[in-house]
Amino acid sequence: MKKYDGLNQAMVERFAPQPGRRPLLPELSAKAQVALMCRMLFREGWNEHIAGHITWRQRDGTILTNPWELAWDELTASDIMTLDAHGKIIDGEWNITPAIGLHIQLHDLRPEVNVVIHNHTHWSGIWANLQRTPPIYDQTGAHCGLELPVYNEYRGTFEDEATTLSAAEALGNSKWALLANHGALVVGKDLRQAHLRVITLEWRCKRAYEVELLGGAEPLSDEVVEKVSITDPNGFPFLFEAMARRELRLDPSILE
């Protein structure tokens, strides 16, 4: 069995929610989960004013997304929009970003990707502007592995269909990417996986920036990164729920 510096598959299975134990979160609607995700990621530095969009494809093919007009830290469940597979609004009282095409293209190209998240990010945005891949200096920055492509063909906003298709195709099978002079993009099979990838990316970029400010250091080797990375598809036990509970304590109206 592959070991992950004290966290291995057996531990993931042991600490997975089990019937009869106290639930880590109350029962949440799909829209409430998207609103919570927006709040959680806003706190991580995915918070450039009203920029940014999350899509979560449902089993019936519809897509949930945040509205264009609202910042991520003010969203509630009732604000979340429902789209069809082509990005047309089915229900909701707001508008959607003209850049939603990037998400639609990614969902079409990659059936395994149900969550797409983009924003003009704080720490990963710095490295995107530098057009450099940040080294990994600690275990938390290594949670989701080493590979982090930089997409450097940015020519403006993601409102043009050819531009969005080019970006979607350039991502290939990657789990995330830095968009040069723009921001960051993360995909995942579900919200839990995408959440872990976002917070890992921001931590990695923040630590790398701080280390460079202090004069640099020796990053972790590829072998060590592989050793201490965790089973990304399973998420990190309890982490998603803990961050969600924090937002619910601060503002229970998220669920409204």
Mind listing the pLDDT tens digit for each residue in 148-191? Answer: 999 886 555 555 566 666 667 778 899 999 999 999 999 999 99
In angstroms, the CA 233 to CA 45 distance is 23
157: helix, strand or coil: coil
Residue 192 parent element (H or E): helix 191-213
> How many Å separate Cα 199 from the centre of its chain?
7
Q: What is the pLDDT of residues 75-121, one digit of tens each?
A: 999 999 999 999 999 999 999 999 899 899 999 999 999 999 999 99
Q: State the residue for tokens 């019937």.
A: 19
pLDDT band at 8 (very low <50, low <70, confident <90, very high): very low
Check: CB of residue 195 under 8 Å from CB of residue 138.
no
Check: CB of residue 8 under 8 Å from CB of residue 1.
yes
Residue 228: per-residue pLDDT: 84
Q: What is the mean pLDDT of residues 25-36?
A: 96
In angstroms, the CA 148 to CA 165 distance is 19
DSSP 188: E
In angstroms, the CA 242 to CA 240 distance is 6
Residue 18: per-residue pLDDT: 57
Whole-model pTM?
0.88
pLDDT of 11 strictly over 60: no
Q: Would you say how long the chain is, in residues?
A: 256
Residue 161 parent element (H or E): helix 161-171
Q: What is the mean pLDDT of residues 119-133?
A: 97
Domain ranges of the chain: 29-255
DSSP 85: T
In angstroms, the CA 135 to CA 230 distance is 18
Q: What is the pLDDT of residues 208-252, one digit of tens each?
A: 999 999 999 999 999 999 888 875 566 788 899 999 999 999 999
Say yes or no: domain 29-255 is CATH 3.90.1150.10. Answer: no
Joined together, the tokens standing for residue 31 give 């829209």
